[in-house]
Amino acid sequence: MSDLLRPSRRVLLEALVLVLVAASAGLSLNYTLVMKAFTGRNVVIAPQASKSTAEVQFPLPVDYEEIDKLLTEGHLLVDARDPHIFAESHLPGAISLPLGEVDLLFEAFSARYPKETPLIVYCNGFGCPDSFDLGVRLIAEGYPKVQVYEGGFPEWRDRGRLLESGGAP
């Protein structure tokens, strides 16, 4: 009976070594990607070029470290959160365009902000899809310069940055 177990133990040991070598190689080749995923930062994989005219375009991510530079260059902050939450507290200079009310508010938004306006959309942080969904919608509506600040309100607040309150929802 022990003769039957010996070959299977050896096979299991070889398989384990193979898995460990493959995992090590994969992690070392994708170190940056893995570290971004573990720190909660966005991982963007460039889409392949497509000949389809109905292709959906996605907003690009923007990191906290880039925000100040983009704001000085004239980017507009767009808050995708609920208007009541926006009124309680939001990033300075941001305007409210809640994803849930975009159909009602888009005409006024587009009349006030030309399509060339570079936009940075944010919401309640990495787990909140509203900023991304609003960014996709804005691109589809003709705003080509849309980025998403995925750290959003929580990252801004947690870094001790100034906040505003009030404002018309």
Note whether 16 and 95 are same-domain residues: no
- Predicted local distance difference test score (pLDDT) of residue 13: 83
Count of structural domains, the chain: 2
Note whether 76 and 124 are same-domain residues: yes
Assign 2 a pLDDT band (cuts: 50, 70, 90): low
Using one digit for the tens of pLDDT, what is the confidence trace for 12-62?
888 888 888 888 877 777 766 666 665 655 545 444 444 444 567 899 999
Note whether 76 and 142 are same-domain residues: yes
- Predicted local distance difference test score (pLDDT) of residue 164: 94
Tokens of 4: 């039957």
Using one digit for the tens of pLDDT, what is the confidence trace for 74-93?
999 999 999 999 999 999 99
The overall pTM is greater than 0.85: no
- Predicted local distance difference test score (pLDDT) of residue 34: 64
Note whether 145 and 98 are same-domain residues: yes
- Predicted local distance difference test score (pLDDT) of residue 4: 53
Q: Does any domain span residue 165?
A: no
5 pLDDT exceeds 70? no
Note whether 15 and 67 are same-domain residues: no
- Angstrom CA distances, 160 to 12, 32, 41, 110, 153, stand at 52, 27, 19, 32, 11
The average pLDDT across 95-110 equals: 95
Structural domain containing residue 154: 60-158
CB 169 within 8 Å of CB 87: yes
Note whether 146 and 72 are same-domain residues: yes
Note whether 31 and 104 are same-domain residues: no
Using one digit for the tens of pLDDT, what is the confidence trace for 105-155?
999 999 999 999 999 999 998 888 999 999 999 999 999 999 999 999 999
Note whether 66 and 100 are same-domain residues: yes
Note whether 69 and 115 are same-domain residues: yes
Q: Does any domain span residue 55?
A: no
Tokens of 131: 């900023």
- In angstroms, the CA 169 to CA 11 distance is 65
- Predicted local distance difference test score (pLDDT) of residue 96: 96
Q: Does any domain span residue 25?
A: yes
Q: What is the CATH number of the domain that holds 103?
A: 3.40.250.10
